[in-house]
Structure 1
Amino acid sequence: MAVKTPVSIVKIGGAFLEEPELASTFYRNFAGMPGLKVLVHGGGKRATELSRQLGLEPRMVNGRRITDEASLEVAVMVYAGWANKSMVAALQALGCPALGLSGADADLIRARKRPVAEIDYGYVGDIEAVREEALHGMLQAGWVPVFCALTHDGKGQMLNTNADTIAAALAVALSSRYETRLYYCFEKPGVLTDIEDPASHVAVLDRKRYDAMVASGQIATGMLPKLHNCFQALEKGVGQVRIGLPDMLLPGAETFTSICL
């Protein structure tokens, strides 16, 4: 059986874009990663700020954003505009051949508008398909795809889609051809038993411990969809999933949380 080529799918939270020193460290770490790689980013903090400047009050439920028509316009402006192009420019300055994308570009990520159930999430997309062959072609051509948190429905409608979910979907799609490694970078050194104590990070989190931490309230709100995506990615063939600070992208890093089944 042929050995698969590794590819790293890295998701970075939009909060890092707001802190120049943190952003600079992340860009250097990501640009320095060897081999094929894909970047997925958020931008929720800046979208929230712009929404309020425009007189729109953001709404969140269980860590997920409610997206009405006006909020979608803000998301497209921030995610595909300022956030995406700022990251692409910063990476290009480091010699990283970044290519800024949304799911609509080249029909790379198609989604459907989430059906209304107990909660109407508005223009939020649930991913249906990733055009893996086109993404593979970009990687083989030497590009480093940089995805914002937007997809489309194939009928002209843009959809806001959780960036953690996009990263997991890309990793799953590429796992048929590559050895996939999924990294979720954020402002904590991993999953914590005490949110106020960075030293309380969990080195390895399996499903049993995850369920116990959810039951005890140690894992809640925004971490719930993130970790759900982690376990789902592993179940669908992703080889490795880690959560932690951007330093975990460096060789020899030890402080992060490895997710396992």
Structure 2
Amino acid sequence: MAYELYYWDGLQGRGEFVRLALEEAQAAYVDVARGEKTDSLGIGAMMAKLDSRSDAYPPFAPPFLKDGDLLIPQTANILFYLGPKLSLAPRDEGLRYVANGLQLTIADLVTEVHDTHHPIASGLYYEDQKGEAKARSADFLAHRMPKFLGYFERVLVQNPSGPQHMAGDTLTYVDLSIFQIVEGLRYAFPKATKHLADHYPHIVALRDAVAARPNIAAYLASPRRLPFNETGIFRHYPELDRSAR
């Protein structure tokens, strides 16, 4: 049976980290909210799952993955589940927890990126918190982004198996997620990330290696890969960008 991925239509968002893993492994999956708007597919099906009174443990929010009778919420949790099944997790059990920790740190970074354009409340429009967003973005670009990227660069450099991968000596879902982080930051903050390779060469080299993988390259060239836009997590508002120091 195909995996069923539930996430909002029209944007990449947190669901994209899961899609990249499924696409790299060429796993059979249905992107439910992008299907035909019938009783079994579409946004309606996703909302029905969120509002379900029959599931003992309904998900709080997308993304969530359905595999048979199992319903798995939260991006890092989904990837922790899928990784071994898709051969995208370290073979060593201890390293699997390392990979999960790295993915959870990526989730922290994703939250901070979101908060650059919605620092007050998700329920308010960006225009309603524009001044606060400018202040939050300035701090993010000056302090938080370098702290996260510096950490990931250090993990790559210190990997005993070499700086080609984040955890262990083979491709994992964490490597795919680092690719998405670089792509998203470059879209949202093109000025601040213009010289990213000068400061974080191993991160950018990993991004390039992932982009060159045949299955990922085919996905990126397909209509399944939606473009970044101003409804997702990574949004480009020129007034929030600045040249790196």
> What is the TM-score of this pair, normalised by structure 2?
0.27
More strand as a share of residues: 1
The structure whose residues are more often helix, as a share, is 2
TM-score when scaled to structure 1? 0.26
